[in-house]
Amino acid sequence: MNAPYTLFHAPASPFVRKVMVMLHETGLRDQVLLHNASLSPVSPDAAVNACNPAGKIPALRLPDGQTLHDSRVILDYLDHQHGGEPLIPRDGPQRWRRLTLASLTDAILDAAVLSRYESFVRPEEKRWDAWLAGQQEKIERALDYFEGEAFDELNERFDVVAIGLACAFGYLDFRRPEWDWRLCYPRLAQWYERVAQRPSMLATLPA
């Protein structure tokens, strides 16, 4: 495949998944070669460090050699590379509202990924239960907000906000299968059941 872009990728990362879903939704998937990076906070990947000093994925190398990160920047960039309806409003109050809601979905992902590291990467004797509880509260506050006040906005279309939240639920099911979040958030559960069937979601399941 002669692809002009390279995405530094890991199939378990929900931040990478957001980019992958965006690529599928915008018809750009075949423009991108995947470079698998296996990394954690204590085992960095030299190729990722060389293109993103923060050592994080996703990072997207462009045809001119420049590398974009993080996932929010990459999504915004990709949204300017296709001819369809934008998935991030270009301007006006809607732009700031959708980006703020998308940022809340990233906060869920941050808390879920940090909790995963705390539970599985950090040595058992150093784990901090109160900190884990604080991360769980963040996730629950954000989901309460989407279940209630922001539900109609979420439901409008499958855009940058919906991509972030769908990837958050995908990650929770993948890494926290014991937590039946569907019982607490019935409207979101119904919404997710539907959007999880989209080809872009089915093609990007975490592994």
Q: Which residues bind ligand BEZ (CB under 6 A)?
A: 10, 12-13, 113, 116, 175
Among 69, 33, 37, smallest CA distance to 53 is for 69
21-35 burial, b at 16+ Cβ within 10 Å, e below that, comes to: bbbbbbebbebbebb
Q: Output 69 or 98, the one with its CB closest to ligand BEZ.
A: 69
Length of the chain: 207
Q: Output 98 or 116, the one with its CB closest to ligand BEZ.
A: 116
Q: Output 113 or 168, the one with its CB closest to ligand BEZ.
A: 113
Q: Output 18 or 175, the one with its CB closest to ligand BEZ.
A: 175
CB of 109 to ligand BEZ, least distance (A): 8
SS3 87: coil
Among 69, 11, 9, smallest CA distance to 36 is for 9
Q: Output 23 or 154, the one with its CB closest to ligand BEZ.
A: 23
Distance, CA of 78 to CA of 30 (rounded, Å): 13
CB of 132 to ligand BEZ, least distance (A): 15
> Is the peptide bond preceding residue 144 cis, with omega within 30 degrees of 0?
no
CB of 69 to ligand BEZ, least distance (A): 13
Distance, CA of 154 to CA of 162 (rounded, Å): 6
**What are the distances in angstroms from CA 53 to CA 11, 62, 103, 128, 206?**
21, 17, 22, 28, 25
Q: Output 68 or 172, the one with its CB closest to ligand BEZ.
A: 172
